[in-house]
Structure 1
Amino acid sequence: MRRFHLSALAAGLALLISSASTPAAPAGAQASAPPSFFDPQHSLQKPDLLRIKQIRFLTEDDFPPFNFLLGDGQLAGFNVDLARAICAELDAPCSIQRRSWELLIPSLDDNSGDAVIASLAINDETRGKADFTAPYFLTPGRFVMLKDTTLPAATPEVIADRKIAVVAGSRHEAFLKAFYPRAELVTFETPALARNALRNGKVSAHFGDAVSLSFWLNGAEAAGCCSFKDGPFTDPRYFGEGVGVAVKKGNEPLRRALDYALARLDRKGAFAELYLKYFPIGPF
């Protein structure tokens, strides 16, 4: 079982969120466009909520900005706020409890919790242990280039044989090898080294995890050097199926209720508000 990938760069945003309700993007930054993961044409059927007496959400506390602890010990983060919004939408009492990562799914099995909202990736392994709602977040890949680049796009034709920084052995390298066969891939051991190569002008572009890159672009380390170019790229063969809320296998009433609430929050704009709060320069 693995969770949704995110670099430690996100930790800095947790400090911003703990001191301000909405962290501001730097001057001149690209506006964040809230994504929608639900089909707006799909007819919403309100499920029977009579069996939903309460929802005991489970999460962890060391994965900012999705879930983390404030200075007063209170849980905070995108997942935490989303859980509260779900409960308000369903008009159901709920609690949000901390668990260590390895105990999240077992807590569903022993009925000490009802739903896990902790950026748990949906894949063959996790589907064998829990049932999931529709995805509420994805981790796309994106290109980042210097702001003064002369390249008008990040297509294979435009990039041609130019140098692209990428982490060795990553899903991003595999994607580039498949779709950018002419590019010269310059591999690095860590995302930080790849980003530094771009910032210092040693490569024409860097391709990597869009969530991590969004925090880098919003932080002091980037110093306003760069911006996203094209994308996002969301091919599930390389970037996964996204993350969902997990429930105990067979708990169809709760899964349906959660799916309904997530879709309602999306249509009402509440999901977009949460997204912009935590992702002022978004990965999408």
Structure 2
Amino acid sequence: MSETRKTPRIDAVCNLYTPEVVSSRPSWSTSFLGGKIGAGEGTLGGLSVEQHIDMMDEAGVDRAFLIAPKMGRVGLPTSWRLDPAAVIDAVQKYPDRFSGLAGIDPTEGVRGTRELEMLVKEYGFIGAHIYPHWFELAPDHRRYYPFYAKAIELDIPVQMQVGHCLRYSDEAPLPSVGRPMTLDTIACELPEAKLVGIHVGWPWTEEMIAVAYKHPNVYIGTDAYAPKHLDPKLIHYINTFGREKVLFGTDFPVIRPQRAIEEFEAMDLRPESLDALLGGNAARLYGLDA
């Protein structure tokens, strides 16, 4: 961490993207990231964990939350999930730079909640992560509730993609089930649940702001979109009455951290708002500010 900066900078939504991980991903992954998303050639082949840290240092990012994602049910041809062991290895090797987020498959039921508890209690994972569209189940579907209850018990946040779903694979396009308003239902029924709507909820970003404003334990993640393209209403929210409710993220390799940091720093944000966004809020929410 910079000696002149007291607030850490935290990438709260990030993917481990080593060459080994790249080789394990389905065939649609590279074409999607290189074509639809436009990830650079220097990224598509993957970065070692050490190169990832160099990239973070270049951007002034102190810590990244690495996802062990579950993208669809096991056995489906377009689905993929990362073995949590890969994230565990990175976190254990560089505990001062990385923290783990456990992926959730709502169809796994109690077996899945036990795995979540094991990853938190035995391996120090600090939160959970959901891709609702990969299971074609909206975030307020009953099959997620055992996981929300377990997260409350473990006192960890659950982040989930909200907004529309891009077309990952022509073989099996997925519906956009993650309207931000579904988090309103969850927060009303489970007010203790700490929920983070990542991917900003686009094209329903204002709806995401409304839900975060309503509920003390609902937050917004800025990942997956270049900051300069974010809705001006979200930037206003970050700079004013939502200062404590928005978390910086990249969804790397979708956005490189240096680009994201530079674009946020170029905005007319109050220093306290920028500090809260780039790390203060994540540190507080995930219990890293002690």
Higher strand content, 1 or 2:
1
TM-score above 0.5, yes or no: no
Larger helix percent: 2
Q: Which has the larger radius of gyration?
A: 1
TM-score, with normalisation over the residues of structure 1? 0.31
TM-score of the pair, normalised by structure 2: 0.31
Q: Select the structure with the greater relative contact order (CA < 8 A; seq sep ≥ 6).
A: 1
